[in-house]
């Protein structure tokens, strides 16, 4: 089983910041999305494959985010996603954005699986849950 945590490197560019060179708050969600996407890909499940082969999409149901320190133009950061809970159709992730040893933002992100056809909540297939390292 793979570790439950994935970390991705980030560099802050002009496009990420406001006129003062500080990362715009909504971009932290983009960075966290990248980490969750990589978490899935490392386990063999990119979004396109899951949509077309399994018939489900993963969508954010809720999130609770705390902004602790600003990131700035030119910073090198890391965004992480760690699975902390999984039920039939819900995955909860602990997500962090850090610079060195300094935590800049953290969030709990709850993702649900929905049918590609009608966007109604569905269970993640047992075979996929097992591949993700979760007991079916």
Q: What 3-state class would DSSP assign to 47?
A: helix
**Are the C-beta atoms of residues 65 and 71 closer than 8 Å to each other?**
no
Indicate if 18 belongs to the active site: yes
Which of these, 5, 27, 29, lies nearest to 16 by C-alpha position?
27
* Residue 42 host element (H or E): helix 27-42
For residue 10, give the H/E element and its range: strand 5-11
DSSP structure string for 107-130: EEEEEEEEETTT--B-PPPHHHHH
Provide, for the chain, the percentages of residues in helix, strand and coil under a 3-state DSSP scheme, each rounded to the nearest 5: 25, 45, 30
Q: Which of 18, 46, 48, 135 is catalytic?
A: 18
Query: Could you give the residue numbers annotated as active site?
Result: 18
């Amino acid at each position: 089983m793979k570790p439950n945590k994935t970390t991705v490197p980030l560099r802050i560019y002009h496009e990420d910041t406001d006129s003062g060179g500080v990362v715009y708050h909504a971009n932290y969600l983009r960075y966290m999305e990248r980490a969750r996407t990589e978490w899935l890909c490392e386990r063999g499940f990119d979004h396109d494959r899951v949509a077309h082969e399994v018939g489900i999409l993963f969508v954010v149901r809720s999130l609770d985010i705390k902004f602790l320190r600003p990131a700035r133009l030119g910073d090198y950061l890391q965004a992480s996603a760690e699975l902390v809970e999984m039920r039939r159709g819900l995955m909860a992730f602990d997500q962090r954005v850090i610079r060195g040893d300094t935590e800049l933002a953290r969030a709990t992100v709850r993702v649900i699986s929905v049918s590609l056809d009608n966007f109604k909540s569905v269970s993640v297939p047992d075979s996929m849950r097992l591949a993700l390292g979760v007991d079916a």
